[in-house]
Chain A
Amino acid sequence: MAISRFSYASMNVMDVEAAAQHYVHVVGLRETDRDTDGRVYLQAADTQDHHCVILNPAKTAGVDHLGFKVSDRADLDEAAAAVTAYGLPVTRIPAGAVKGQGEGVRFPLPSGQQMLLYFHADKVGYLTGMENPSPVSAHSTPGGRVTHLDHTLISAQNPQDDVKFLTEVLDFSLTEKVIDPAGNTLAAFLTCSHTMHDLAIGPGPDGTFHHMAFGMDSRTEVIHGVDLLKEKAVPALEYGITRHGIAGVTTIYFHDPSGNRNEFYNGAYLAPGAPGWVPPIVWQAEHFPRGAFYYENAVPEAFFAEVT
């Protein structure tokens, strides 16, 4: 099995036009397509595929599904068999059901959020083009200087159930975890690619979405992003600009117009996604405040309670 990367988040929003404005003019994505069901597709500057965010018209905020790319078409059959054997229901998704995308397999994590694995994506190219391009494409967007969609954090009542499934069935690698005094996993950071997390699991209600993070080239760009958020009066900038102790990244959180949490961030370390190659860093729960927000050395309870 070879899941090669976290590719996109299909998000539910209550006002698609307001959300599209936000993801273009605040986050810095480009709109790449629309479909007849009213969905909007967007992509970051430095990724060639058709989309990294899909906006679905909905009555409730939150995540519809998370898209992960596999490195070979045959991986889809292998994944479908392995997930079915694990006891989770698999649905085959025909090519084109998600616009710009080939066939896929969809199934819930133990905590309920839907994952969709696929191989083919139509190409829209890099923002600055595919011939003789400028090397500073992220500077060409009207919003934040975002290069790519990097990772997502979802919530689970029992994060260990998701960790077991992701590592044993889908060959994710655990890079960091937070444990309580009894050794139970409170939060987990997992990779399937080359970076320390593609998918993270935090404590909270099953089936909910905590945030998706957009990568930037430097800490300076994150500072520029905060200036932009302030100038555009984007509400509720929780903590930050700050650093996470976990991975040491520079970070700021904010919300889209339906309350789905976004992050601008820079600086995750590299970690090979091959299962078991990198033993995980362990954080005891009493040190979690420093791991979560390094400068403040505190975690507001609401940070994990408030999800969509």
Chain B
Amino acid sequence: MQVTLRHANQPEVSFACEAAETVVTAARRAAITIHVACEQGGCGACRARIVAGTVHYPLPASARWLDEASGSDCYALLCRAVPTSALVIETAHPWRHVENSPLSRLIGR
């Protein structure tokens, strides 16, 4: 699945997400670090607005952050969300690009 991240003042990025892979894990493979804290679906640090597409949760995610959708807005916890379609997401925090140095490529970060 294709995942596209958007954030104010940052050029949008896209990367591929494997089946059963979370958005955060797929982003890491693409050398993009998404802001997370607990990485356990609880704290809401990675909460982001879904602009287009759908996700599912193989592991638990705290309903507190998912039930607060207002109007047509829909939110996801990126540390636990696995895309079920192409996704466009607006993140609450900027992401970081891991420098694409030979060493970074070698160690996969």
A250 touches B (CB below 8 Å): no
Interface residue? A151 (CB, 8 A): no
B37 contacts which of A15, A256, A257, A302 (Cβ < 8 Å)? A302
Q: Is B41 an interface position by the 8 A CB rule?
A: yes
Decide yes or no whether B40 CB sits under 8 A from chain A: yes
Bound complex: CA A58 to CA B12 (Å): 36
From known contacts A236-B36, A236-B37, A302-B35, infer whether A255 and B42 are also in contact, taking CB-CB under 8 Å: yes
Are the CB atoms of A306 and B60 closer together than 8 Å?
no
Complex Cα–Cα for A59 and B63 (A):
6
Assess whether A308 is interfacial by the CB under 8 Å rule: yes
Residues of chain A from 1 to 27 with CB closer than 8 A to chain B in the complex: 14-15
Given A236-B36, A302-B45, A306-B44, A258 contacting B64 (CB threshold 8 A): no
B58 CB to nearest A CB, Å? 12
User: What distance in Å separates the Cβ of A205 from its nearest Cβ neighbour in chain B?
Assistant: 10
Question: Which of A208-261 touch B at CB < 8 Å?
Answer: 235-236, 238, 255-261
B36 proximity list for chain A (CB < 8 A): 236
Chain B nearest CB, measured from A41 CB (Å) = 21
Q: Which residues 45-96 of B have a CB within 8 angstroms of A? A: 45, 59-64
A307 at the interface (CB under 8 A from B): yes
B37 contacts A61, C-beta separation under 8 Å: no
In the complex the two chains form, is A61's CB within 8 Å of B64's CB?
yes
Does B21 make an interface contact (CB < 8 A)? no
User: A283-308: contact bitstring with B at CB < 8 Å (1 yes, 0 no)?
Assistant: 00000000000000000001001111
| Contact (Cβ within 8 A) B64 A236 | no
Q: Is the interface of A mostly helix, strand, loop or mixed?
A: loop
B64–A235 contact, CB under 8 A? no
Do B42 and A260 touch across chains, with their CB atoms under 8 A apart? yes
The number of chain A residues with a CB under 8 A from chain B is 21
| B61 → chain A closest CB, angstroms | 7
For residue A60, CB closer than 8 A to chain B, the reply is: yes
Q: A60: which B residues are within 8 A, CB to CB?
A: 62-64
Whether, in the assembled complex, A62 has its beta carbon less than 8 Å from a beta carbon of chain B, the answer is yes
Query: Complex: how many Å from CA A307 to CA B39?
Result: 13
Q: Which of B43, B60, B62 contacts A261 (CB 8 A)?
A: B43
Identify which of B39, B60, B63 contacts A236 (C-beta below 8 A): B39
CB closest residue in chain A, given B61: A14
Q: How far is the CA of A260 from the CA of B60 in the complex (A)?
A: 13
- In the complex where A236-B37, A238-B37, A302-B37 touch, is A258 in contact with B63 (Cβ < 8 A)? no
B35 lies within 8 A of A258 (CB): no
> Given the interface contacts A235-B38, A236-B37, A261-B38, does A308 sit within 8 Å of B63 by beta carbon?
no
Question: Complex: how many Å from CA A261 to CA B39?
Answer: 11
Which residue of chain A lies nearest to B40 when distances are taken between CB atoms in the complex?
A259
Contact residues of A with B, CB < 8 Å? Answer: 14-15, 59-62, 235-236, 238, 255-261, 302, 305-308
Residues of B within 8 A of A (CB): 35-45, 59-64
- Shortest Cβ-Cβ A-B pairs, 4 listed: A259-B42, A14-B60, A259-B38, A61-B42
> Other than the known A255-B42, A258-B60, what 9 A-B pairs have Cβ atoms closer than 8 Å?
A14-B60, A60-B63, A61-B62, A235-B39, A236-B38, A238-B37, A258-B40, A259-B39, A261-B43
For this complex, 21 residue pairs linking A to B, each with C-beta atoms less than 8 Å apart, are A14-B42, A14-B62, A60-B62, A60-B63, A62-B62, A62-B64, A235-B39, A255-B43, A256-B42, A258-B60, A258-B62, A259-B39, A259-B42, A259-B43, A260-B42, A306-B37, A306-B43, A306-B44, A307-B43, A308-B38, A308-B42
